[in-house]
Structure 1
Amino acid sequence: MTPYAQNTGSSRTWLKSYYIIRFAVSAVWVALAFTIARSVPALAGVMLVAYPAWDAIANYLDASRSGGLARNRSQMLNVIVSVATAVAVGLALGHGMHAVLQIFGVWAVLAGLFQLVTGLRRWTSYGAQWAMILSGAQSALAGGYMLKQAGGVLPVSIADIAPYAAFGAFYFLVSAIWLTVSDARRRSA
């Protein structure tokens, strides 16, 4: 495996900023999913397409800052899968939320595995990637749960996807804090 970009101060600053931005976007998405979007189907539809689209953009930007997509194949695959998911969700909206949840489940499994690989690869350069590794593993498990739910008969909504996004937000925040603390310790040593 090719190592990530050199562990310079600017690359660590980028990674912290990246994690904070990912946290903020996910937190806003979750807040809207649990409030307004539950009763406004058009907003929920836009948000359901936007979430994997945002993931594709974020992975692309991060890979670009870390040596490019060719050097970061797990992120390249994540970009491809996330774009395909955004398109598939847009098409599935007309077939009901069970179809959307099924697509989200498959995406959560794949994106989680790619995130896990990205976290493992970054560990050697940045350390403090345990939260992203755990998040990737949990994403894959959550995807399995979403697939089970999608096959059921109980009604589902955007609120059934929001906990998945909430855990993602939490892990991005933990990663940003962990890198910040790690940098502070490094400076004081």
Structure 2
Amino acid sequence: MSQQSKGSSTTNNLPNFARSSQKRWLKLYYFIRTAFSAVWVAAAFTVGQYSPTIAVILLVAYPAWDAAANYLDASRSGGLVQNRTQTINVVVSVATTLAVIVALQIGINWVFAVFGAWAILSGLLQLGTAVRRWKSYGAQWTMILSGGQSALAGAFFILQFRMPTMPLITNVAGYAAVGAFYFLISAVWLSVSDLRRKTRSV
């Protein structure tokens, strides 16, 4: 094979290599998000129920982590400019973190109102990101379902704001647990798809 043919073959393989590398990143990213959410949910259902200080830390940390995670994913997926839905999600999650801190000074019901608005916005933005990635990567149907579920959960949180009964951190923990389940399905789906592809190529 001539040098020119080798160069042409290498060039043609670059898009496939980039797509494969991105799928590996997404798989790792989904596993990381699953692990964080699992730890957060475990903390919320245990010490978070009995320690107001821990509960406050958890409530502030959740949207802050979402901002960091979306920033990391966007940075590893072509940059913030090419991933506008995630860039907006970073801004929304940072604003939510600050709003939660302020709401905690007013009352716990206000915190859940803030979480409700955030869940709706971040869910729709996650759905938009999944639709954009649909043609290139697998497991996006779970992210679309997750985004839709997040928006519905947000509406439920806002309804709770008007209720006389004070919501508990376990309400948010239930929401986070469902999100972790969707991320886990996405990670496993990508792993199985890679395994099947490798098996067929043997």
Give TM-score, length-normalised by structure 2.
0.89
Given the alignment, which residue of 146, 149, 163 partners 1:152? 163
Identity level (%)? 58
Alignment partner, residue 115 of structure 1: 126
Which 5+ residue runs of structure 1 have no aligned equivalent?
none
Given the alignment, which residue of 108, 119, 123 partners 1:97? 108
Question: In 1, distance between residues paired with 2:82 and 2:20?
Answer: 20
Question: In 2, distance between residues paired with 1:127 and 1:170?
Answer: 16
The 5 A counterparts of 1:1-189 are 8-189=19-200
Higher relative contact order (CA 8 A, sep 6+): 1
Q: Runs of 4 or more off by more than 6 Å in structure 1?
A: none
Q: Which has the larger radius of gyration?
A: 2
Question: In 2, distance between residues paired with 1:94 and 1:42?
Answer: 13
Question: In 1, distance between residues paired with 2:181 and 2:96?
Answer: 22
Question: Aligned-pair distance for 1:9?
Answer: 2.4
Which SS does the other structure have where 1:67 is aligned?
Answer: coil
Question: In 1, distance between residues paired with 2:31 and 2:138?
Answer: 17
Which SS does the other structure have where 1:156 is aligned?
Answer: coil
Does the Cα contact within 8 Å between 2:127 and 2:146 map onto a contact in 1?
A: yes
Question: In 2, distance between residues paired with 1:50 and 1:163?
Answer: 16
